[in-house]
Amino acid sequence: MPTLATGARPEPRTSGGEVREELRRRIVSLDLAPGSPISINALAASLGVSRTPVRESLIRLADEGLVQVFPKVGTFVSRIDPQRVSDAQFLREAVELASLASLATQGPPDAEAVAALRRNVQAQHEVRDGVEDFLRLDDEFHRGLLDLAGNGGVWDTVATAKVHLDRARRLGLRATPLGAFVAEHDAILEAVCAGDLDRAARQMRAHLRAVFTDIDQIRARSPQLFRSQDDAVPVRRNIPVWS
């Protein structure tokens, strides 16, 4: 996988926030692979900006745990940290299960909201090997379930907390047929519509925890993508997502 996206030079970005968001997107989407070296000069050229906003953005991303700086060696995309993934998954599970439980104190689900969720699941069925398209629909589905319970306002907090989780999920989605995840969404929605919130919660819990199985399998195949307790200072070489 390339370290930097190639192609036509983009329009210059004048906002440091825009540069930071673009670098975060490249890291979370795995365009910048876990463990790969970062060249400030190359990033600045690809973004059409000076070195300063890139350098400042990398400092902020290091604070988020997405970048590591090794003095006298260089700057690297952080390897996926299973503990950070676990923490993000814990938060997400707590929020989404609590939201499902709150439906028990409400009336019948809003028909329009349910129809939107059904359209979303149908659109998921129509995705063909498009991980990014699926993830966009996946986020819309989970946010839609929160909206159904009147808790949609917490989604932005969940989304901010799950950047490390999202990197691990992308690895898992490349190894698992998308149809399996769509079927799980379908089953969760049907349980909600049937008023069987206990079943919906069991299915949601299993659905959200599937990332741990993915991590175990991918880590066995590609350990260079993951942080370990005895991490050494990395060497400056490109790290492929698949070895």
Is 45 a member of any domain? yes
Tokens of 64: 């988020």
Is 8 a member of any domain? no
Lowest mean pLDDT among 1-10, 27-36, 192-201, 222-231: 1-10
In a shared domain, residues 90 and 179: yes
In a shared domain, residues 54 and 148: no
Distance of CA 100 to the CA centre of its chain: 22
Could you give the CA distance from residue 81 to residue 167 in angstroms, rounded to a whole number?
Answer: 10
Is 230 a member of any domain? no
Phi, psi of 199 (to 5 degrees): -65, -40
In a shared domain, residues 103 and 39: no
Q: What's the pTM?
A: 0.84
- CATH code (residue 55): 1.10.10.10
In a shared domain, residues 117 and 191: yes
Is 61 a member of any domain? yes
Could you give the CA distance from residue 50 to residue 37 in angstroms, rounded to a whole number?
Answer: 19
> 236 falls in which pLDDT band (50, 70, 90)?
low
CB 74 within 8 A of CB 68: no
Which residues does 219 contact at the CB level (< 8 Å), separation at least 6? 82, 225, 226
Cβ-in-10-Å burial (0-12, 13-18, 19+) of 152 comes to middle
In a shared domain, residues 92 and 51: no
The pLDDT of residue 241: 53
Residue 101: other Cβ atoms inside 10 A: 14
CB 168 within 8 A of CB 175: no
Q: Which domain holds residue 148?
A: 82-221
In a shared domain, residues 49 and 143: no
The pLDDT of residue 12: 47
Is 235 a member of any domain? no
State pLDDT tens for residues 16-73. Answer: 789 999 999 999 999 999 999 999 999 999 999 999 999 999 999 999 999 999 888 8
Is 5 a member of any domain? no
In a shared domain, residues 71 and 86: no
Tokens of 223: 């350990």
In a shared domain, residues 71 and 88: no
State pLDDT tens for residues 192-205. Answer: 999 999 999 999 99
Closest listed residue to residue 45, CA positions, set 19, 80, 83: 19
What domain count does the chain have?
Answer: 2
Q: What is the mean pLDDT of the chain?
A: 88
Distances (CA, A) of 237 to 3, 75, 142, 190, 225: 10, 12, 37, 48, 13
In a shared domain, residues 90 and 192: yes
In a shared domain, residues 121 and 59: no
Is 11 a member of any domain? no
In a shared domain, residues 113 and 28: no
Is 176 a member of any domain? yes
In a shared domain, residues 45 and 91: no
Q: Which residues pair with 80 in a beta bridge?
A: 226
Closest listed residue to residue 182, CA positions, set 124, 111, 222: 124
Does 6 score more than 90 pLDDT?
no
